Amino acid sequence: MAPTSLSTRDLPLVAVFAGVIAALGLFPAISAFGGAVPITAQSLGVMLAGAILGPRRGALALVVFLALVAIGLPLLAGGRGGLGVFAGPSIGYLVGFPVAAWVIGAVTYAIGAPYRIGWGVVANVLGGVLVLNVLGIIGLVLRADLSVAGATSAALVFVPGDLVKAIVCAVVARGVHAAYPVLLPRRREVAAQSPAADVVG
């Protein structure tokens, strides 16, 4: 179960992941086929935040990141920043960042420890591919003057790379959770099979 409140230990984790997402913005953005929204590495950071920090801390890391972008820091790929980016065709993806991290974290926490790559990929695809692109499509319809079909076609360009990121994220998250097992709650069935549970029973 995800923590219900943030502790002083959580705040540095949130700040670190906001920095990780900003650092991923240093990778060059790619505008595939002249698309309105560039392909960037920062969606990998969104997946990592949810998969490692869980729903609340993961989403908060993205909120902090977006707040820094809003005040003008050029943290988005390509050195973009300021309130103007929230009026452009990327708005759906930007708003989707914390939502996607929350979904990934919620699914990951619901499954619990030990972290398994297969289920991790499922969580990353649900939040970081499906949810993020659905919100991105809505933004393209509203801001890029595209039809739903046109926006969906534009969003499909991101899917192959996003699937690769989902796998990479799961592999990285497994390593992190193996090194820091306290980040992820144990699955109920695992806890029920523990010697302590047998004594209590």
According to the model, what pLDDT value does residue 78 have?
Answer: 84
CATH number, domain containing residue 165: 1.10.1760.20
Domain for residue 3, yes or no? no
Element containing residue 24 per DSSP (H, E) = helix 10-24
Would you say residue 162 has pLDDT above 60?
A: yes
Domain for residue 154, yes or no? yes
According to the model, what pLDDT value does residue 75 have?
Answer: 93
Closest by Cα among 167, 136, 174, 142 to 154: 136
Distance of CA 154 to the CA centre of its chain: 20
According to the model, what pLDDT value does residue 27 have?
Answer: 84
Mean pLDDT of 137-166: 93
d(CA 114, CA 111): 9
Mean pLDDT of the chain: 87
Provide the residue range defining the domain that includes 81: 10-200
| Number of separate domains in the chain | 1
Yes or no: say if 133 and 159 are a contact pair by the CB < 8 Å rule.
yes
According to the model, what pLDDT value does residue 36 have?
Answer: 58
Domain for residue 132, yes or no? yes
According to the model, what pLDDT value does residue 29 have?
Answer: 67
Domain for residue 1, yes or no? no
Would you say residue 201 has pLDDT above 80?
A: no
- When comparing pLDDT for 2 and 152, which is higher? 152
Could you read off the pLDDT of 46-58 as tens digits, one per residue?
999 999 999 999 9
Q: Model confidence at 5, in pLDDT bands (50, 70, 90)?
A: low
Element containing residue 151 per DSSP (H, E) = helix 148-156
- How many CA atoms lie less than 13 Å away from 157 in the CB half-sphere? 18
Domain for residue 187, yes or no? yes
Domain for residue 70, yes or no? yes
Rama region for 5: left / alpha / beta (φ>0; ψ in -120 to 50; rest):
beta
According to the model, what pLDDT value does residue 2 have?
Answer: 47
- When comparing pLDDT for 89 and 36, which is higher? 89
In percent, the amount of the chain with pLDDT more than 90 equals 72
d(CA 58, CA 80): 22
d(CA 48, CA 165): 9
Domain for residue 36, yes or no? yes
Q: What is the pTM of this model?
A: 0.85
According to the model, what pLDDT value does residue 77 have?
Answer: 87
According to the model, what pLDDT value does residue 26 have?
Answer: 87
Mean pLDDT of 23-36: 70
Domain for residue 2, yes or no? no
The residue behind tokens 């097992």 is: 181
